[in-house]
Structure 1
Amino acid sequence: MKISLGPLLYFWPKGDVETLYQQVAESDANIIYLGETVCSKRRELKLGDWLEIATALRQHGKEVVLSTLALIQAPSELNEVKRWLDNGELQIEANDMGAIQLAHEAGLPFICGPAINCYNADVIALLLQRGMTRWVMPVELSRDWLQKVLQECAARGLRDRFEVELFAYGQLPLAYSARCFTARAENRPKDQCELACLAYPSGRVAESQEGQAVFVLNGIQTQSGYCYNLLNDIDSMHGLVDIIRLSPQGADFPAWIQRFHQAATTGQAPRYAAASRECNGYWHRIAGMLQAE
């Protein structure tokens, strides 16, 4: 299994983003996804900046993919997606059906991102007709569900036509909204948010009255309050998953790349004692915020 780094989901200063990918260039990650998937107002880096980072990563032997917005709300955002598709070199991860349609019209292959509601073999067959080469499974699906879908794909002769990628580490991106929850929490209108997300490099935790971290607010994106961590579940992925995705976050993120790489390449997952705010429930077909032993 390969290790991928999903797109950075948070809004960081340009210098911090560049530092992250300088560290990543020396890591054991095989595939790097670049770009802004949450909010088009986050413009610390332009397309040219992302392409410069992509060039440096490719020089270190990394496969680089450009990720599109998960919620396209304006013609200007659609035009920006077209610019990303026209980059001339890099494959695209489409996180909105509009991006998939644009890629299909341009005759370009694409990766189906986790924001696309793809839950069965019928939808996979449709996306393959449009040009899909890799399917990133929606984060709320279980191992049992994945196994069933892949069996259906095998019966229809589809399984060898795409790769399967699984979100295995990080705050889970659960939902998207036209409303910006971070701006609302700061009592600011969305159109005058003053880039409030910059103050929350790991999102803004929303706790229950009992103090339980239920969600993380990240602009228009709602994330899981607990960090999803499938390090102890790698053995159960063999034969089903081709690529393990880690979501960049935290100062110790490079160490997590190494842990997952070791487990994926040696087949010997180091038993990891889950922290109090970690979960793996979805993979085990139980409540997502639970931790299955």
Structure 2
Amino acid sequence: MLYAGIGSRNISKRAEEAIEALSRFLSYEGFVVRSGGARGSDSAFESGSRGEADIYRPEGATEESIDYAGRFADNFSHFKEYTKRLFGRNAQIILGADLKSRVDFVICYTETPDAGGTSHGIRIAKANGIKVYNLFNFEDFVSLESDLGLNFIDLYPKFDGVNHINVYSKGSTELGRFLSNFERTEINLPEGRFQSLEGYWYYLNCPDSEGREVLRGLYGYDAKRIGRELRATDWNNDASFKAKIKSAMYVKVCSNPLFYKKLCECKLPLKHYYLTENDKIDVPECDWIMEAWAVIRSHGLKRLR
């Protein structure tokens, strides 16, 4: 199958590496990429293609492709000649040099899909009924995996920090690891001092009022393991339990202003999943925790403004 790989020029190093990894993975799966040779996203798609990318450049734009591209740009007649050729190149990436050999789908990376050169390519694709996946959106990344019938198990860590933050003790980002319940960080709560949210979680769920005291000093998997040995339940849907955990989460970030600032400045959606050797395992039971972090982030943003 043939796909177009396009996107923003100014992207982070992490995003560039993630796109290159995806392009390489698709290349091994037999997909061929068309791109435009620009820096940033285009270069990342090309770098991962193992030398098999079909690259279109402005100097190769034809009058036909330029005229066609103009249908999807306002005030096109006022554009400089080179800009018109750039837009003509966009049309060729999506529809081929002859405008008759279209790609099967488009993968892009852009924070602004309604502005800039990438948006022009997106408009052409949609006008021709070609599906577009924006890697900046985590849901699009997941949909791409599903629609192609592939397993992105090795790519999720690459995109952790690019289109989402995995709140997980083994996550790829420092912020995601910090927000995990496993993280060792001292919190002072009405019930006393704890070394982790995980320890506090099992403390609240433990029926052994004396034995549970050991949980105050535990973090990581040890807190879960000992909590289970003490017959503490893993899950609790009681409203009062959730309220206490949410309060503890807020105390945790307030006690760590550096990470609170990082949380507030992060625009990416917060997710929680585990990765095994072959599968990504979602944990819907933790959705309320991700929602709580989002509320804390929003509240913090108001404080910072």
TM-score, normalised on structure 2?
0.28
More helix by share: 2
TM-score, reference length from structure 1: 0.29
Q: Which has the higher contact order (CA 8 A, sep 6+)?
A: 1
- In our comparison, the structure showing a higher alpha carbon Rg is 2
